[in-house]
Amino acid sequence: MAIDNLLDEKKINLDDPDGMQYYWHDLDKEKEYYNTRQCKGGGVMVWRTFNYDGTIHLEFIDSTIDSGKYKKLMKKVILPKINSSD
C-alpha cells in the first residue's frame, strides 16, 4: 500500500520559542525559573500537505479552533487537496 499524501500541522508562538523556559542559577541562592513569554503574543497554526507529485500546500490558521471548526477545515481545505492527487 503506497502513501500518496502526508499531512502535518504545527502550532507556532509568534513571540518566543514554543514553551521554552530558562533558569538563573546562582550557587548562593535557590534555582529560579522564568518563563520567556513576556507579551503573551498570538500564534499561528500551519497545516501542510505533501502530495506524491511533489506539490506542497500550506494553510495558515491564526485563530483558535474547536473540534467543529477543525472538521470543517478538513472538509473544506485539506481533504480536497489530498483527493486532488487521485
DSSP string across 8-28: EEEEEESSSSTT-EEEE--TT
Q: Which of 65, 28, 29, 26 is nearest to 44 (CA)?
A: 65
Cα–Cα distance, 62 to 15 (Å, whole number): 14
pLDDT of 34 higher than 50:
yes
What's the pLDDT tens digit per position in 35-81? 555 555 567 777 777 777 777 777 787 777 788 888 887 787 767 76
Here the cell at position 4 is: 500518496
Question: At 1, is the pLDDT very low, low, confident or very high (cuts 50, 70, 90)?
Answer: very low
With a threshold of 0.75, does the pTM exceed it? no
Cβ contact 41:15 at 8 Å: yes
- What's the pLDDT score for residue 45? 77
Give the count of beta carbons closer than 10 Å to the beta carbon of residue 78.
Answer: 19
